[in-house]
């Protein structure tokens, strides 16, 4: 019997009523393993109705009490880690160890959000003027929503909902329809942890659900991660409606390799950063920029040796370095881009096409692919491929490499591999991207710093997690107060001065 995934509204699973479903595949077999209901506009409205009512009491709850529920939730997720990781891998395709990492990195942010009693504190100044005190307070927005992608079905929903819920908001999640199982299970664990009904809800769906969330005036803010065109569209629409939005799009992350770098260490770091999770990471390194021809020749040789030794297998295979792509359409896209690179004249050093895993011949597998002598006008360089394809673009000197990273349309993350502290410091200060790694291949910040790209990789003034998340999910109210002292001053028609005198 085909498994069906529905919605989570008001503290329980609610059967979808639209009659519309999307297929859920097992990427390792290529077979349909279930169906997910696609919500109607009325179903989304029902979730918003419930959220709006539930948020009133939740927003008035002491932040320390809210934090305690977050702590219970973290413990429950860890107790159920094996189940969650297996479910995630079965729908996404990433290997089990990577699925555990997906969940743990999400929990990092929920743990950070447990500091809400401190992070929500306002400011206070006594005697700002004669007998006048001024203070500020952070208050929740109300109902907020997250629209999250397939590649991190646990981490990114947790990045969004943790700070939002800790801040006193009600949160509605619209996850990817490709791997909806984990988000629904997380909803059940929130309820088990003691979160009031309606504060975390899941509505599965497509564009109809997203439009319903965007257009309802009661939803005050949106967190989105996905492609750049949709990120920009949602950000623009939210701005037109006077709502907040943090929208993160595509990426083309470069690693600059200086001639003084240890190339064996670089190759070990790069092979994981480029091919881990089949390249389906917004922070994957998809472009290597060796500085100097000698550096490039040596690096390509080392990368080719390592790429050919990687094991691609089913998600539950403990020996597999990475698993299949998430969908047949993703597989077709990656294969098409490899063909484009060949046609454009790039040197195909390792070709991952045609890979078959024994017993799983219909799975969505593609092997590690390595291009050398790629130029910046080729589509494999300009576009985000989102697969296990690494492009080597040679730079003659440091300044050319720096310009290459900074001039690209995307500005998510980058890294530099070097033993030269001066070059590293200069790169960190001058490069035009939002996140930088120095001898760190994937510079994903820890949970108490913010995560976000620049240029076409990010839209909005505030980033994900860290203090920015609490600023995004709250509004600041400033109070200026004076209590009667018996002094008769009479009416004043002059604008109050800065010292309130």
- Which residues are the active-site residues? 282
- CA 453, 451, 471: angle at the middle one, nearest 5? 110
**Which tokens hold the place of 354?**
């045609």
- What is the rounded distance in angstroms from the CA atom of residue 84 to the CA atom of residue 144? 25
**Which tokens hold the place of 113?**
């959000």
Listed in order, strand segments (DSSP E) in 132-197 are 132-140, 143-147, 170-174
**Which tokens hold the place of 440?**
């760190």
Contact present, 15 and 37 (Cβ < 8 Å):
yes
Instruction: Please name the residues in contact with 79: beta carbons below 8 A apart, sequence gap of 6 or more.
Output: none
Q: Measuring CA to CA, which residue among 435, 396, 463 is closest to residue 284? A: 435
Q: Is 227 exposed, middle or buried (0-12, 13-18, 19+ CB in 10 A)?
A: middle
Task: Report the b/e string of 58-90 with b at 16+ CB within 10 A.
Answer: bbeeebeebbebbeebbebbeebeeebbebbbb
Partners of 109 in beta bridges: none
CA-to-CA separations, 11 to 106, 171, 191, 328, 378, in angstroms, rounded: 22, 12, 6, 34, 50
- What is the rounded distance in angstroms from the CA atom of residue 83 to the CA atom of residue 79? 9
State phi, psi for 288 to the nearest 5 degrees.
Answer: -105, 130
How, if at all, do strands 124-129 and 253-257 pair? Answer: unpaired
Based on C-alpha coordinates, what's the Rg of the chain? Answer: 25
How, if at all, do strands 244-248 and 458-459 pair? Answer: antiparallel
């Amino acid at each position: 019997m085909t498994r069906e995934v529905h919605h989570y509204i008001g503290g329980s699973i609610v059967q979808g009523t639209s009659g519309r479903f999307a297929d859920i595949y097992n990427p390792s077999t290529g077979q349909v393993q279930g169906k997910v209901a696609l919500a109607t506009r009325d179903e989304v409205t029902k979730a918003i109705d419930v959220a709006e009512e539930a948020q009133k009491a939740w927003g008035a709850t002491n932040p320390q009490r809210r934090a305690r529920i977050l702590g219970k939730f973290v413990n429950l997720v860890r107790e159920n880690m094996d189940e969650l990781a297996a479910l995630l891998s079965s729908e996404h395709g990433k290997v089990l160890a990577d699925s555990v990492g997906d969940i743990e990195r999400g929990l990092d942010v929920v743990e950070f959000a447990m500091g809400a009693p401190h992070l929500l504190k306002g400011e206070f100044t006594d005697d700002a003027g004669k007998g006048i005190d001024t203070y500020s307070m952070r208050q929740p927005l109300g109902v907020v929503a997250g629209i999250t992608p397939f590649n991190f079905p646990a981490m990114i929903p947790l990045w969004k909902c943790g700070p939002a819920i800790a801040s006193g908001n009600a949160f509605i999640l619209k996850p990817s329809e490709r791997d909806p199982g984990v988000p629904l299970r997380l909803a059940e664990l929130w309820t088990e942890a003691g979160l009031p009904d309606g504060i975390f809800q899941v509505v599965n769906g497509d564009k109809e659900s997203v439009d319903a969330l965007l257009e309802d005036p009661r939803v005050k803010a949106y967190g989105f991660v996905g492609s750049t065109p949709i990120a920009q569209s949602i950000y623009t629409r939210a701005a037109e409606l006077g709502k907040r939005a943090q929208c993160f799009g595509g990426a083309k992350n470069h690693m600059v390799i200086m001639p003084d770098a240890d190339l064996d260490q670089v190759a070990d770091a790069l092979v994981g950063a480029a091919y881990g999770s089949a390249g389906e990471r917004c922070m994957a390194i998809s472009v290597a920029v060796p500085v100097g021809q000698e550096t490039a020749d040596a690096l390509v040789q080392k990368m080719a040796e390592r790429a050919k030794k990687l094991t691609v297998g089913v998600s539950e295979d403990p020996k597999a370095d990475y698993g299949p792509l998430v969908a047949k359409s993703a597989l077709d896209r990656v294969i098409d881009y490899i063909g484009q690179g060949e046609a454009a004249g790039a040197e195909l050093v390792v070709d991952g096409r045609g890979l078959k895993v024994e017993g799983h011949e219909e799975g969505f597998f593609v092997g590690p692919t390595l291009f050398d002598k790629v130029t910046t006008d080729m589509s494999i360089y300009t576009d985000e491929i989102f697969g296990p394809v690494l492009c080597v673009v040679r730079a003659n000197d440091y300044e050319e490499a720096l310009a290459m990273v900074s001039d690209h349309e995307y500005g998510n993350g980058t890294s530099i591999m070097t033993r030269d502290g001066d070059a590293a410091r200069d790169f960190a200060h001058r490069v035009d991207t939002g996140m930088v790694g120095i001898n760190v291949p994937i510079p994903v910040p820890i949970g108490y710093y913010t995560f976000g790209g620049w240029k076409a990789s990010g839209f909005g003034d505030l980033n994900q997690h860290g203090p920015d998340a609490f600023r995004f999910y709250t509004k600041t109210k400033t109070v200026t107060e004076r209590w009667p002292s018996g002094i008769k001053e009479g009416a004043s028609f002059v604008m109050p001065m800065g010292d309130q005198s």
